Amino acid sequence: MNRFFPWGFLSVTALVFLAIFVAYPILGVLFRSFIGENGAFSLDGFETFLTRGKYLEALMNTVILGLIVTLTCTILGVFLAFVVARYDIPFANIVLLLPLSVLIIPELISAQSWVMVFGNNGLITNLFKALGLPFPRFYGWFGLIYVMTLTYYVHVFLAALAALRGFDHSLEEAGQSLGTAPFTTYFRVVFPTILPAVLASGLIVFTLVIGNFAISIALAQRVPLLSVMTYRSFISELGGNPTMQSTLATVSILLVSGVLFLQKRYLSKRNYQMVAGRSTPRIKLRGWKALLISGGAGLIIVLSLMPALVVLMGSFTVSRGPVMYWGQFTLEHYVRIWDFNLAVIGNSLKFASLATGLGVCFATLVSYLLVKKRSVFSPVLDYLLLLPLTISGTVLGIALAQGFNSGPIVLSGGLLMVLAMMVRRLPFGVRNASSNLHNISNSIEEASVSLGVPPVRTFFNVVLPLMAPGIAAAAILTWVTTVAELSASVVIYQAGQETLPIQIFRLISSDLMARASAFGVINMFIILVPVFFGIKVMKVRLFSS
Amino acid sequence: MAELILQDIRKSYGDTEVLKGVSRRIADGTFFTLLGPSGCGKTTLLRIIAGFVSPTQGTVHFGRDDITRVLPHERGVGMVFQDYALFPDKNVFDNVAYGLRARKLSSKEIQRKVPEYLEKVGLGGLESRLPAEMSGGQRQRVALARALVIEPRVLLMDEPLSNLDASLRVQMRDVIRSLQLETRTTTIFVTHDQEEALAMSDEIAVMKNGCIDQCGAPADVYRNPKTAYVSRFVGSANLIEAEFLEHGLDGVDRYRVQDTLVAGRTMEVAANGRYLMIARPENIKIRRKDSDPVGGELEGRIASFQFQGYRTSFHVVLKSGEDLHVETVGEAETSALGRGDNVIVSIGEKCLFVPEASA
Ligand SMILES: Nc1ncnc2c1ncn2[C@@H]1O[C@H](COP(=O)(O)OP(=O)(O)OP(=O)(O)O)[C@@H](O)[C@H]1O
Ligand SMILES: [Mg+2]
């Protein structure tokens, strides 16, 4: 009787896959950072890193940017969550669109749209110029903080809102009855209880910022940042000595793993369990307070959704080189895409659907193995699945490119593109796919087997239909991220493999904003269709956690 | 349908042996109940028969077929689970038809058989309901129909009634038992409810720490427990230390129990000579103290009592300080007894003696 087959066999297969395509390239990067010019062990890379001012400066800047954006996101996210949870504001329904906006508007497009507003040839910049007023430089710190805050605060907002909604109002009343004033009650009672959720989401924001590539490269300009520097070192050293790019990548891996370690270490211990109690009654506001609070919240919402609008407008606007003629409309940019760039759309669709298909199958299988068929391999699988979280897209791209350009396994660019897109999303896909699995009792499978259906067919007959909602969520979210993927693919792609984000990135670099906008609109459309279909038709719950 | 033969089944997890050599021949058509406290290995034994756990040693036969190494889905056993284990996304019809479809029956036959079995469990006409739209009792009936419709060689049930409330449980006992009698399916039923076991079974196996302590018809196990453990687990029993005095000619031996002499059957000889007397509460007579106790009688005082209609249950504290549980049925003279009364209890002749080590 072979009890090892097929689950043990499949576990080993998954393990081997992750070992080859995740662990091996990442270990390769770490390893190569200790190899000098002559191929022997050396700490040259780290010495250069620590002694050349620009590298340390980039590290410092990255960390400082991470801290600042985490802070601003926390303020913005918590404020908006409080307003939505506590006050009866007129546009509460639009607020629910916010998490969607993050899905639909890729970071790159968000950065691009703000450049179109505040950049060198921006709408507002030109307006100020026309009025003869000086306009502050948007590129650099201000632009980075501004765009990243508007892109990432939603993570804190959602976490804080969920925590506040689960917050028992009677606790708050208990605090008040002790004789403290309402405001201090809030501070003393409510805030500490939602703090773990806020901290956890803040750490996520921090890792997103330090790993960020798209916004950084579009806006950093003269501010050296680790991710941009890593990318540049890869581009310029292509084919040369990989020590420095490996060293930079290693530093980035260590930074993110450190943060993840802190999160595991300190946050998992402070897990407040809140029994769903009475939710706080909404307060109706009057007078100037109403104006201030709903105005503030409204502004945040408008600014979050604006990039989609700006890009849509820009894509129909007449332009000559970098100059946009706002108010004059044309279909020229779309016609150009139709005539010359359909292949780009094809590439995006091809790579993303392959990555989504493979990724979802893999995530479904692995989540089943991890939840239902635990074996000696499971803990190793658990750990390997954490690995993609510790690396930014740029580093993953470099790891894959370095790992599979030469050596025992050589893969073609197209395959690497698919692999990169798939691997980045894997940990989340597994989490989505296993969301229903814990509620499926083992006896259901045993019932099916005892009725005469072999284990593998039982999985397809009985388990898979019950996993379907989680799998659908995994599929949609994987699609959304792979279609928008830039940081890893821009490192890997070869001529003829340009995807929409890569094309947008190149056009932005050449300051051709109108044409980039047309690609951006198509990109958002490709993202939006399955999201819309999933939510409206299949009733998939994307944000259940 | 078949005879089920278990031969020296052992199962170890690491160093702990959870089944320590279970052997039993269960005749075709028997309703066989595994009764025992939590953790004694009932589920493990059942899952070995189903094939979900492989025994460390020993064999399982259905009739002449050795199925020890046969895969679970090829064994043709029906299973009913504590949590019903219905497929939540399939309606009642599809749940019951599931095993038939796996057997590639024609759809005509499926259309005939499914309603037939739903009728048998009293659910005719509910074919299109989803499990979520049914009560616990109804769900368990669907599970029963689903297991029986494939005409299994053996039907296995692991505490199928423990999720139901008390009155439903009694009702479902009848449903299960009468279906089993109708189909004559060899059935292994796991429970730790002795009343259930006594009411439903042809045969009971009382398990303890991975072994079957005693096996037999319910009445036999109740009347003739071979160990103190079985006497306590099946029905309730007073256990009092006894000292062996002499053999009687008619198989009724004499013992000293506290300061009186009692006669009764010795179920098994104790190697160390230390015995326990088993006295069922309903076999003990109680009366107001009117004289000094004679042979077979002990003196005590009523610590508390409960009037329960047709019977009354007394908690008596003997002079020696030991507790005694006594039950009387509708006797006029005992109804006058009350708390604090001094009483004489007479042990009678139906008591049994077992080695103390068997407790
Ligand atoms: N997979 C396993 N690994 C290790 N020990 C196990 C495993 N399954 C069961 N056991 C142990 O075997 C013993 C018997 O378990 P089993 O489930 O058969 O008990 P049971 O009689 O069904 O109890 P209950 O009435 O609580 O259901 C228990 O001590 C249990 O801890
Ligand atoms: Mg059990």
Beta-strand ranges (E) seen in A439-540 are none
> In this predicted model, what pLDDT tens digit does every residue of A310-329 receive, in sequence order?
999 999 999 888 888 888 89
Closest by alpha carbon to A435, among A402, A400, A472, A406? A472
Closest C-alpha residue for ligand 1 atom 2: B13
Distance from CA of A11 to the nearest CA of B (A): 20
- Centre of ligand 1 to C-alpha B20, Å, is 13
A443 closest CB neighbour out of B70, B73, B81:
B81
Q: Which two tokens stand for residue A395?
A: 């580093």
What residues does ligand 1 touch, defined as CB less than 6 Å away?
B 13, 18, 36, 38-44, 192
Closest by alpha carbon to B164, among B194, B134, B187? B134
- Centre of ligand 2 to C-alpha B117, Å, is 27
List per-residue pLDDT tens for chain B, 359 residues long: 579 999 999 999 999 999 999 999 999 999 999 999 999 999 999 999 999 999 999 999 999 999 999 999 999 999 999 999 999 999 999 999 999 999 999 999 999 999 999 999 999 889 999 999 999 999 999 999 999 999 999 999 999 998 888 888 999 999 999 999 999 999 999 998 999 999 999 999 999 999 999 999 999 999 999 999 999 888 888 998 888 888 887 778 888 888 888 888 888 888 887 899 999 998 898 988 888 888 888 899 999 988 888 888 999 999 888 899 999 887 666 777 888 889 999 887 788 988 887 77
> What is the C-alpha separation between A421 and A96, in angstroms, rounded?
28
Q: Which two tokens stand for residue A466?
A: 């019950």
Q: Is domain A55-242+256-315 classified as CATH 1.20.1440.230?
A: no
Whether the CB-CB separation of A209 and A69 falls below 8 Å is answered with yes
Whether the CB-CB separation of B348 and B295 falls below 8 Å is answered with no
B99 closest CB neighbour out of A452, A454, A455:
A452
Whether the CB-CB separation of B99 and B150 falls below 8 Å is answered with yes
Confidence grade of residue A38 (pLDDT, cut at 50, 70, 90): confident
pLDDT score, position A498: 92
Residue in this structure with the two tokens 């580093």, named with its chain if needed: A395
CB contact under 8 A, B85 and A441: yes
Element (H, E) at B275: strand B274-279
Q: What share of chain A in percent tops pLDDT 70?
A: 88
Domains detected in chain B: 4-228 (3.40.50.300), 229-358 (2.40.50.140)
CB contact under 8 A, B79 and A453: no
> Which CATH class, in words, describes the domain spanning A1-25+325-545?
mainly alpha
Mutate-to-test residue for ligand 1 from B15, B17, B18, highest number of ligand atoms within 8 A of CB = B18
Beta-strand ranges (E) seen in B27-135 are 31-35, 57-62, 65-66, 77-80
- Centre of ligand 2 to C-alpha A296, Å, is 59
Ligand 1 atom nearest to CA at B37: 25
pLDDT at A278 over 60: no
> What is the C-alpha separation between B343 and B279, in angstroms, rounded?
17
Start-end of CATH 1.10.3720.10 domains in chain A:
1-25+325-545, 55-242+256-315
Ligand 1 atom nearest to CA at B47: 18
> What is the C-alpha separation between A530 and B102, in angstroms, rounded?
35
Instruction: Tell me chain B's radius of gyration from C-alpha atoms.
Output: 25
Total H helices, total E strands in chain A: 27, 2
B135 contacts: CB under 8 Å, gap ≥ 6: none
φ and ψ at B289, to 5 degrees? Answer: -65, 115
A228 contacts: CB under 8 Å, gap ≥ 6: A58, A213, A216, A217, A220
Closest by alpha carbon to A123, among A330, A324, A300, A319? A324
User: Could you list which residues have their CB under 5 Å from ion ligand 2?
Assistant: B 43
CB contact under 8 A, B54 and A1: yes
Pairing of strands B274-279, B238-246: antiparallel
- Centre of ligand 1 to C-alpha B40, Å, is 7
Whether this model's ipTM surpasses 0.85 comes out as yes
